A and B are shown apart, each in its own frame.
Chain A
Amino acid sequence: MNIAFYSTNEVFAGEEKLKQNDIACEIVPTPDKYCGVCIETEEEEAVSILEGMEFHIIRKGE
């Protein structure tokens, strides 16, 4: 899944938070709404770790 933000700053803050929690993720280009890069991860736990930040999940094909 891709986790998209409106702020580039928040993307990197989110990535940092996930890596601190040993969640594998990387910054990739964002796939009718977001800033140009987003976080890509396969780990569902990422969603609860990022709680409190404003983000949106884009799944293949939320």
Chain B
Amino acid sequence: MIYFDNAATTKVKPEEVYKAFEYYVREIGVSPGRGSYSLGISASRMLYQVRKKIGIFFGLENSTNVIFTKNSTEAINLFFHGFLKTGDHVVISCYEHNAVLRPLHYLKSIGMIDYSVIQRNDLELSPEELLEKYAKTNTKVLALTLASNLTGRIIYKSEIFEEAKKRNITTFLDASQGAGKMSLSMKNGQIDYLVFTGHKDLMGLPGTGGLCCRDKEEITPLLQGGTGIFGDAYMNPKVFPEGLEAGTLNMPAIWALGAAIDFCQQNRNEIYKKEKELTELLLEQLSTIKNIIIYDYGFDRLGVVGFNIDGCSSDEIVKYLDTWGICTRGGIHCAILAHEALKTVKTGAVRVSVSSFNAVDEVYEFIDILRRLGD
């Protein structure tokens, strides 16, 4: 089997991740922030250690300004529902995942906020021109994805956030794609909020994600419930971060995420080099296939490539590849705005996404099998 759907979830994890998960489940096995017995204290300390590790990884000045969620979708919803107020306006790009689009569209549908979508061609404008065109007097947030989950194109540019900050606009980065591969730092003050998920490029397990906050601004909790503190209050306490983390945290996966981050940090150069090599080979080989359309071909990208072959639907191609044991993804990829921008709503697209655990031989085998489809 060849697994080329790493943009959905990285299937192969570093060995350390499996070991950390097993260690937590077998040796600790209790929840943090609850019991004050020795094992409970150990669990709470481990939670603190991973929280801090993530904060340092993303360059937070206050390294524990990290709120854990079960994925980036929850973190995005926590931010939009908890931060935006009636009358606010948000600017997003046409490459945003539905996890960004849908909460905003919902808030718009109930008359609370409005949002504008930066069109594909306008992403080439200078930051000043871009915000002159899309920002309004009531623009509260500029939310951009780090990279497209459909084409791999890198969307985030620090200069755009810099310009937004000059206009007192809060900046929000969806780093679901690319966190762990691209070096990001919240230290320079351009990124106010950053969302990550554990199970993609960070190579952790599903069920972990979070919101990194430059400052402890007040965010309304998404969930009300047990927080392990202020048990006598009828609502979540206004205590950061526990007041925003109601319910039992997925601590076995959080502990494993700590191991994944160690791995990413220790091997960052090798991971980058390997994925760059695989992606360049993939692009070079794909471009030799008859009637192929590769989306966002000339742009800087992560290890993700979206394409179509004239005369075939993306679903047909994905099904054909699956018969050869190759896992790719067709359809809309939860990215309707990007498909609208690329005019591929009817056909969908085939997405191939590599990880540093893939091999050069797998790319050649994939290309060989894909070429047979054309023949």
Contact = CB atoms under 8 A, between A and B. Distances in A.
Interface in B23-44: 32-37, 40-41, 44
Interface of B: 32-37, 40-41, 44-45, 48, 51, 64, 228-230, 237, 239-242
Contacts, number: 51
A59 B230 CA distance: 21
Contacts of B40: 36-37
A27 B41 contact: yes
Contact of B44 (A30, A34, A37): A37
Contact of B242 (A8, A27, A37): A8
Contact of A6 (B37, B44, B230): B230
Contacts of A6: 229-230, 237, 239
Given A7-B229, A9-B51, A37 B64 contact: no
Contacts of A57: none
B228 A9 contact: no
Interface residues of A, number: 15
B44 A12 contact: yes
B36 A37 contact: yes
A8 B33 contact: yes
Contacts of A36: 33-36, 40, 228-229
Given A29-B36, A37-B36, A37-B44, A9 B237 contact: no
A35 interface: yes
Contact of A37 (B41, B230, B237, B240): B41
A13 B48 contact: yes
